[in-house]
Structure 1
Amino acid sequence: MASSSPPVTPDGRYFVVRGRLWRCADPRLSSETRARLVSELMAARRAVRAALAGKDEVALKAARAAVDVAKIGLGERGPVWWEDGAPDDNRRMVKNTAYADWFAGLPKETG
């Protein structure tokens, strides 16, 4: 049975899905800001789906841009939200990062 939520790195910067790191949202965001951006992201993803179904390239481009804006606002894309100079490992395979040993120590059914 799959885990209900993906593992999150000890520093809270990434979660792991199928062995790949994905940047978490900036934890410094207020709950109101986060909720608004998540709502915008979900609306943009619905617009992507509708544009794909309708084969509307103009709408698809606009919807994908809206997804990007929301993800940048959340801190999941764009400049990193941490300030210690650590590199951005977003979308990298965890086994090729400084998180490899941590990940190797997790139960096999996670991530």
Structure 2
Amino acid sequence: MQVPASDPSLYPVTPDGRYFVVRGRLWRRSDPLLGDAERGHLVNRLMTARRAIAAAKHSGDTLAERAARAEVDRTKRALGERGPVWWDDGTPDYNRHMARTTPYAQWYAAQAIAPSDPHSP
């Protein structure tokens, strides 16, 4: 079973489910309306493109690296992680913003003071 990068046990997810937080930065989650099969296909495509970037860097092939980076971008857009937002309520996109400088600041501050050990009082 694949554990998504936005698994709340690994990274906090905003209450509206739009972002997960890594080192204080918001990252847009995939469109929840994507079906499991489509999401799985896109994630596989994304991982293939990321491996292609590494291989191109290792071999010094700048054209291949550029093509692989373009594929990563296309795939992330298809997943809804980049490009137009997948929600329709007019809320702006805070992708890649520091959580502390967004409307999620109070929520994020509360995450920082929450105990990290689920067994602690």
Q: TM-score, normalised by structure 2?
A: 0.85
Deviation at 1:84, TM superposition (A): 0.2
SS in 2 for 1:48: helix
Question: Match of 1:42?
Answer: 47
Alignment of structure 1 residues 87-98 onto 2, 5 Å: 87-98=92-103
Question: Match of 1:52?
Answer: 57
Is 1:31 matched with 2:32?
no
Deviation at 1:107, TM superposition (A): 3.9
CA distance in 2, matches of 1:43, 1:4: 26
Of 93, 96, 102, which aligns to 2:107? 102
Question: Match of 1:81?
Answer: 86
Tell me the C-alpha RMSD between the 2 structures: 1.5
CA distance in 2, matches of 1:18, 1:62: 29
Q: TM-score, normalised by structure 1?
A: 0.93
CA distance in 2, matches of 1:4, 1:58: 38
CA distance in 1, matches of 2:81, 2:62: 25
Unaligned runs of 5+ in 1: none
Question: Match of 2:20?
Answer: 15
Identity of aligned residues (%): 57
Aligned length: 108
CA distance in 2, matches of 1:90, 1:106: 18
CA distance in 2, matches of 1:20, 1:107: 13
SS in 1 for 2:111: coil
Q: Which has the higher contact order (CA 8 A, sep 6+)?
A: 1
